[in-house]
């Protein structure tokens, strides 16, 4: 639930003229978010970027783990039916093939779905992985949850509103120039605070969001934040 709301929230965040203000944003929701459309949008993004650009790929929904193949996938809208010759699952190998051609200065990945951290392994092996920052909702083989009150998925709510925007009491008031290492830590603390309100009997200690920062210090989505 609420994945379409997540897309709207991130679109608003990335196109705010007083904030990050990305030049080009493609939003794919519901029936438009089929595997081929996602891969086409990613390919267009990567091929159109130069060495001074900042890219972001943000996904909210379901994730799969194929144990027999030891591979992970983001489940597109057509994951149960397939379309355009695709099976509807964007596998980690497929994503790595596309992102391997990136020459952008920075690339941000945000995956709010089950099994999310498994998508990092293939990306980590790429020669350009030192430009990547990944923030994922779950550890491998763990489920993600939604925030019923905010009508967003929980990791999106914590990263955007609790940490980056500081919209909640006791939250971390980030900024467009804030280091995403700091935003991630604050979002993780906010996520832990949700433990008693969503699935009280679930052990959140094994479900914490995961971060892979190959870029190093100073990663943000604003040019003004890089010294």
Q: Can you spell out the DSSP letters for 67-95?
A: TTTTEEEEE-TTTTT-BTTB-SEEEHHHH
CA dihedral (123, 91, 29, 189) positive or negative: negative
Q: Among 75-89, 122-136, 171-185, 187-201, which is the least confidently predicted range?
A: 187-201
Express each pLDDT in 2-47 by its tens digit. 999 999 999 999 999 888 899 999 999 999 999 999 999 999 999 9
pTM for the predicted model, two decimal places: 0.92
Express each pLDDT in 67-125 by its tens digit. 888 899 999 999 988 788 788 899 999 999 999 999 999 999 999 999 999 999 999 99
Specify the pairing of strand 152-153 against strand 146-147: antiparallel
- The rounded distance, in Å, linking the Cα atoms of 44 and 36 is 12
CATH number at residue 53: 3.40.50.1460
Express each pLDDT in 103-115 by its tens digit. 999 999 999 999 9
Domain hosting 57: range is 3-225
Q: How many distinct structural domains can be found in the chain?
A: 1
**Strands of the sheet with 106-112, listed across from one edge:** 54-60, 106-112, 132-136, 210-213
């Amino acid at each position: 639930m609420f994945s379409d709301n997540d897309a709207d929230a991130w679109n608003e965040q990335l196109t705010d003229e007083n904030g990050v203000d990305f030049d080009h944003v493609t939003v794919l929701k519901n029936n438009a978010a089929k595997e081929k459309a996602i891969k086409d949008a990613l390919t267009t993004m990567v091929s159109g970027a130069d060495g001074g650009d900042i890219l972001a790929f943000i996904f909210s929904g379901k994730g799969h783990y194929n144990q027999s193949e030891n591979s992970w996938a983001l489940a597109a809208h057509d994951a149960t039916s397939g379309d355009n010759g695709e099976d509807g699952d964007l596998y980690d190998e497929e994503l790595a093939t596309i992102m391997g051609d990136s020459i952008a200065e920075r690339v941000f990945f945000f995956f709010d779905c089950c099994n999310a951290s498994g998508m990092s392994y293939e990306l980590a092996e790429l020669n350009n992985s030192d430009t990547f920052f990944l923030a994922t909702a779950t550890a491998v083989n763990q489920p993600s949850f939604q925030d019923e009150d905010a009508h967003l998925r929980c990791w999106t709510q914590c990263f955007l509103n609790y940490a980056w925007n500081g919209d909640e009491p006791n939250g971390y008031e980030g900024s467009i120039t804030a280091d995403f290492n700091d935003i991630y830590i604050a979002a993780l603390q906010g996520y832990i605070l949700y433990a008693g309100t969503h699935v009280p009997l679930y052990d959140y200690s094994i479900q914490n969001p995961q971060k892979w920062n190959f870029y190093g210090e100073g990663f943000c989505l604003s040019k003004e934040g890089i010294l």
